[in-house]
Amino acid sequence: MTEVAVGQVWRDMAKDMIDRDRRLRINAIGDDGRAECIVDHDAHGTAGKTVKIRLTRFSTTAFQLVKDSIAEEDRELYTQLLAAMFRVSRPASAAEYAQVALRVVRASS
């Protein structure tokens, strides 16, 4: 079974949801084997709605992992990296992004 964790974002791959680009963020994992999710994005306007989904559904083709969760100890560094990359002038090359990322990592060491 696919490991499901709080903070992950999953795309709903059901036939009637693909065109809607419905994405769900895991808010909590209950003792009942269900994940409490909030609709992060839905072209039909249900964003913000809360739904519960059985954990076993995430290991099927019904859902696709879009964004994995970030470990608690890595969140500060991740935020710093995103902020540094955002400050790079647009359009930027991969090398420019790598340079600012390297500066952030060196400063945190």
CA distance 102 to 104: 5
pLDDT digits (tens, 9 = 90+) for 20-31: 999 999 999 999
**Cβ-count burial 79-106 (b if 16+ within 10 Å, e if not):** ebbeebeeeeeeeeeeeeeeebbeebee
Tokens (6 digits) for 106? 């060196």
pLDDT, residue 54, reads: 97
C-alpha angle 55-70-39 in degrees, rounded to nearest 5: 50
Q: What would the DSSP string read from start to end of 31-92?
A: TTSEEEEEEEE-TTS-TT-EEEEEGGGGGSTTEEEEE----GGGHHHHHHHHHHHHHSPSS-
- Where residue 87 falls among pLDDT bands split at 50, 70, 90? confident
Contact between 10 and 64 under an 8 Å Cβ cutoff? The reply is yes
pTM for the model stands at: 0.65
Tokens (6 digits) for 91? 């359009």
Which amino acid is located at 53 in the chain?
Answer: I
